[in-house]
Structure 1
């Protein structure tokens, strides 16, 4: 027998015997595209990649941070729209990653820039929330895409935007 907890029909993502169906629509796009996904509780989300500033060293420096020699900063601007009735209670860019040419993910840096406000936790039904995510990476690293996921490991809800023209 498989054990479950919580009200019926609410914890299917945690049960292990079934996975939620991915939302309809494309899972990949380019800068500017809004892609549909779901949060862990079934939230109906549209995530849009608005801008990638690479390099963004001048923004990083203007905020009072210093890069080490051989490092560069990248700033990614995204918006998340909650199109359903369930509040999205996570940080919208919690698992927003840069993907390198060899497929390695780069997690966000624990900094925010006053000139480019970070995401705030939660997106209520009907709301659109935007924010900027900062990354620090080796200067020579080639970034080919940006990936959004509602959880640490990519799954069928993950969205990817290609940066190559």
Structure 2
């Protein structure tokens, strides 16, 4: 009998698994750009713990294992910043990234009052770009983060009614 993947708010006890998962998942990005100083690779366990306590963090669980994660925060201007979306390599391309993205968007909008949603990804990260565009994000600029050229994408935060319709 197979298990289902459950997407839920992260708990303090998930921090170590999130920390390890980020390190595993962002290796391919580091290799793609020849840069192993990407934030998700150099972030400390204490920083991940603090993020789980403070920010809007969701995980995907397969049994007791965290197999996906995403983090979001809302700034004073009402713009949510979504980052560190990752899915274990063995489970990628099965819709978990989209499920995590939707979960954090809903929480940032309905619980934390975000009016805009913003994220960024490397300019050569084609699968990430495809996911974000399918989720309604559009490129609004570019920036350099950790020495990597990034495309900045945004969309207006959907209303609660729009989320209800998509459930």
How high is the TM-score relative to the length of structure 1?
0.31
**Bigger relative contact order, structure 1 or 2 (CA pairs below 8 A, ≥6 apart):** 1
Greater helix proportion: 2
Which has the higher Rg, Structure 1 or Structure 2? 1
